[in-house]
């Protein structure tokens, strides 16, 4: 019998396979829909819960809700992360509501989270900063020529941009960030430090990369196919694309020397050639050698 999670080319186009193919690119919406579906099902069934099972008490329903939502997520072959969210969310909500706290207590954390994560549920690229070791390795990719332009896609709180601008004041560094709170922090830090780094609030997918010599991305696996397509369209010959930690599906490349070891995430780098093809940056081209 074929495994529930098999995705081989031999997989038939049964309804479950079709559902999984559809669910794959949009796990957040599918997880939400499954949470709702399982909640509605349990509510409809609640009059028939036996007294021996607490007559369908709220607590029992919350646990069943979590188990059912996680099981449905597993049937849809959602990644483990979403199974855990679906399992924990109803139970955590139940016990939080049981505290009878005023709803006002939730408003400030909600606003903070919205300002921090903004459209991350759509882009599927959350905030987490890169390490100083990555900034140093990235700086070595810049040639000694002055006037080069660097773009940090999703610049977060600005650590990378500020460090690079301090190290190479002869170059121009721009960070673009979609979430208001990280952007504001980076902008204030740049003012405070009198840094030459410019932080722009916006969506990098709507920004033209043609003016830059080095484009740096620390995003997520979900963002990589579109990132590659945009780089292929917009980078000018000679410009480099560097991805921290996440590779591009179908593009095998070795990490830059010094990365991918001792807890430093791998850095993958490609250069746009004159024939408009992105090719891995050769080890000999890397100033860190
Ligand atoms: C993993 S963090 C990287 C932060 C920073 N580049 C660093 O290296 O420390 C990714 C950032 O990208 C931002 N982001 C996600 N999608 C974006 C988009 N479409 N346009 C601009 N920023 C985006 C997120 O808000 C998050 O702050």
Model confidence at 54, in pLDDT bands (50, 70, 90)? Answer: low
CA 111 to ligand 1 centroid distance, Å:
19
SS3 121: helix
Quick: pLDDT tens for 191-243. 999 999 999 999 999 999 999 999 999 999 999 999 999 999 999 999 999 99
Does 6 score more than 80 pLDDT?
no
Mutate to test the pocket of ligand 1, among 114, 156, 197 (most ligand atoms within 8 A of CB): 156
Mutate to test the pocket of ligand 1, among 177, 197, 202, 221 (most ligand atoms within 8 A of CB): 177
pTM: 0.77
Q: What are the DSSP calls for 51-108, one per residue?
A: GGGTTT-HHHHHHHHHHHHHHHHHHTT--HHHHHHHHHHHHHHHHHHHTT--THHHHH
What's the average model confidence in pLDDT over 131-143?
91
What's the average model confidence in pLDDT over 41-54?
76
Distances (CA, A) of 42 to 64, 66, 93, 169, 267: 8, 11, 16, 61, 47
Q: Kindly list the protein residues whose Cβ atom lies closer than 6 A to any atom of ligand 1.
A: 120, 123, 125, 127-130, 152, 154-156, 159-160, 176-179, 182, 203-205, 218-219
Averaged pLDDT score across all residues of the chain = 88
pLDDT of amino acid 252: 85
Q: For atom 5 of ligand 1, which residue has the closest CA?
A: 155
The fold for domain 132-285 equals Rossmann fold (3.40.50)
Does 149 score more than 80 pLDDT?
yes
Give me the phi and psi of 112, to 5 degrees please: -65, -45
Quick: pLDDT tens for 56-111. 678 888 999 999 999 999 999 998 989 999 999 999 999 988 888 888 888 888 89
CA 223 to ligand 1 centroid distance, Å:
11
Give the residue among 209, 211, 212, 213 at the shortest CA–CA distance from 228: 209
SS3 149: strand
Q: Where are the domains of the chain?
A: 15-100, 132-285
pLDDT of amino acid 22: 84
Q: For atom 20 of ligand 1, which residue has the closest CA?
A: 203
């Amino acid at each position: 019998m074929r495994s529930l999670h098999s995705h081989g080319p031999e997989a038939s186009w049964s309804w479950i396979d079709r559902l999984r193919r559809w669910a794959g690119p949009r796990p957040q919406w599918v997880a939400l829909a499954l949470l709702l579906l399982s909640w509605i099902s349990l509510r409809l069934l609640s009059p028939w819960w036996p007294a021996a099972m607490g007559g369908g008490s709220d607590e029992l329903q919350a646990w069943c809700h979590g188990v059912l939502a996680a099981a449905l997520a597993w049937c849809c072959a959602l990644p483990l992360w979403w199974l855990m969210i679906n399992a924990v969310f109803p139970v955590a909500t139940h016990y939080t509501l049981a505290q009878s706290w005023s709803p006002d207590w939730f408003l400030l954390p909600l606003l903070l989270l919205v300002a921090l994560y903004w459209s991350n549920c759509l882009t599927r690229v959350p905030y987490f900063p890169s390490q100083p070791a990555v900034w140093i390795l990235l700086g070595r990719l810049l040639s000694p020529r002055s006037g080069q332009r660097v773009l940090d896609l999703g610049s977060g709180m600005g650590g990378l941009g500020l460090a690079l601008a301090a190290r190479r004041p002869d170059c121009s560094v721009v960070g673009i960030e979609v979430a208001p709170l990280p952007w504001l922090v980076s902008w204030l830090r740049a003012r405070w430090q009198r840094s030459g780094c410019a932080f722009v609030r916006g969506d990098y997918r709507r920004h033209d990369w043609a003016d830059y010599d080095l484009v740096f991305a620390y995003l997520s696996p979900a963002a990589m196919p579109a990132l590659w397509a945009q780089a292929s369209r917009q980078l000018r010959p000679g410009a480099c694309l560097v991805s921290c930690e996440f590779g591009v599906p179908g593009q095998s490349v070795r990490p830059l020397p010094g990365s991918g070891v001792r807890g430093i995430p791998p850095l993958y780098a490609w250069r746009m050639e004159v024939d408009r093809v992105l090719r891995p940056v050769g080890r000999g081209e890397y100033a860190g050698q």
